Amino acid sequence: MSQTFWKLWVHLVWGTKDSQPLLTNDLRPVLFEHIKGKARLEGYHLDAINGVADHIHCLISLAPRFSISEVANRLKGESSHWINAEKLTKSHFAWQGGFGAFSVSESQIGRIREYIANQEQHHAKQSYAEEVQEFITAYNAGRNESE
């Protein structure tokens, strides 16, 4: 077989440094469009993106040639640089050091899209810290400090 076939979905989640609520209602749509553009340029299929004041969620389909860590760090690094260069926040902007990356099966794509689309309603009831803990438990997620 000379061709590579794949379908790899990843739900990425990352927050602002120290969970600062810097992603205002005005900034989020502009930031999300910027991240979508960066993803397109890099060759990632960014299917869904949304978030609230202190974190964002992305649903991405990646070709096997991409490292999940590299993708997350490129999107985070470039977007924080852009926010600061454009002075889109009152203070220096930075993302947290790490991120969450969770595999998603094809059968769950619709559910994850809906979850990402409804972030504002979801976080009226649950904090980012509670959400992260829920993901860690649900996915039995490990942690690697070297990432």
Query: Model pTM?
Result: 0.87
Q: What mean pLDDT is predicted for residues 109-131?
A: 86
Confidence of residue 1 (pLDDT cuts 50, 70, 90): low
Q: Once rounded to an integer, what is the mean pLDDT over residues 127-147?
A: 69
Residue with tokens 């502009």: 30
**Domain assignment present for 63:** yes
What does the pLDDT read at residue 131? 79
**121 part of a folded domain:** yes
- As given in the structure block, the two tokens for residue 116 are 């990402």
Mean pLDDT of 72-79: 97
Number of structural domains the chain divides into:
1
CATH code, 111: 3.30.70.1290
| pLDDT given for residue 145 in this prediction | 52
Lowest-pLDDT choice from 59-63, 67-71, 72-76, 139-143:
139-143
In one-letter notation, the amino acid at residue 14 is: W
**Is 1 a member of any domain?**
no
pLDDT at 76 over 80: yes
Rounded distance, CA 34 to CA 142, Å? Answer: 30
Cβ neighbours of 15 (radius 10 Å): 24
